[in-house]
Amino acid sequence: MAIHVVGNVCVDMSFRLQRLPLPGETLNADAAGEGLGGKGANQAVAAARTGAPVTLWAPVGKDAAGERMESLLSGEIAGLRLSRLDLPSDRSAILIDRQGENVIVTAAQCAEAFDPLAMSPLGSSWRAGDMLLMQGNLSADVTAQCLAAAQAAGLFTVLNPSPLPAQTPDLSAVSLLIVNRPEAEALTGETDPDRAAERLRVMGATTVIVTLGSEGALLLDDAARLRIEAEKRDAIDASGAGDCFAGTLAGLLAQRVSLSEAARLATRAAGLAVSRAGTLASFPTRADVAALIETLKLENV
């Protein structure tokens, strides 16, 4: 199964602080760094590191930042289909406190202007049985159109609607919805993850996974309600953990790993990521993913 990741790419500027600033407050950072980011790029890299065939469809600007991001991504993703727009490449600022919690602000002109069905050969490149993986960085209308077109073409559709759009997304064309606890509550008004997952299925998603941070994840579909425990790890940097989970899960599903086992492995991959600094730099390598798979095989013997 080939994976088509449709999303964004951006330059991530990160600042490490003792604590997050209060409104109107200026703080000096303990450290700062710049790297490749964007939820689309993050999830595509995580999926590719599982060994799955991945194509990333994303926009960048016609500038030096766009060229740099293309160079960095080409070493990770064989199927790289970047559209060059007459706009500045997208950028994010990430603030991380000493507990690993973070806040992120993104300037996303390229993502907001990108229409892959109109601007790229996406619709003629996918095949029935492939997977479409999307996030919340593109416009809500474009996201809905891509999901509907993919479903009509016989694809397995995966949506991680982060950041959440202003309007409630149409989930009728979503095979698998991945949200964290705050997103699940925002979409449903339910504070309990189990009730939120049930509501999200009523809203149209066939299968729902609610990620719960250090508490693991909840999986709900027609066949099962499964709680997945997370391993105990000291969190250093939680930025990108959700992307690591979603991309790893998609990559494993594309290789016919069962949903429950893929969710367990993705939870462990995300746990490994939060124990390391950085976003993409913290994601499990191909060797890390292979080791996680072998560990789970041994546990199942």
CATH number of the domain enclosing 196: 3.40.1190.20
In a domain, 67, yes or no: yes
- pLDDT: is 154 or 35 the higher one? 154
Q: How many CB atoms lie within 10 A of CB 78?
A: 11
- The answer to whether 47 and 254 are in contact (CB under 8 A) is yes
In a domain, 25, yes or no: no
Q: What percent of the chain has pLDDT over 90?
A: 77
Q: What percent of the chain has pLDDT over 70?
A: 99
In a domain, 10, yes or no: yes
In a domain, 36, yes or no: yes
In a domain, 142, yes or no: yes
Tell me the pLDDT tens digit for each residue of 106-161. 899 999 999 999 999 999 999 999 999 999 999 999 999 999 999 999 999 999 99
Q: Which residue range(s) make up the domain with 203?
A: 3-19+30-300
Tell me the pLDDT tens digit for each residue of 190-225. 999 999 999 999 999 999 999 999 899 999 999 889
- Closest-CA residue to 43 (of 75, 82, 15, 5): 5
pLDDT band at 279 (very low <50, low <70, confident <90, very high): confident
In a domain, 271, yes or no: yes
Q: Which two tokens stand for residue 275?
A: 């124990």
pTM, two decimals, is: 0.92
- Closest-CA residue to 269 (of 254, 290, 299, 298): 290
Split into its structural domains, the chain has a count of 1
User: Does the structure show a pLDDT above 80 at 264?
Assistant: yes
Q: Which pLDDT belongs to residue 298?
A: 65
Q: Which pLDDT belongs to residue 301?
A: 55
In a domain, 24, yes or no: no
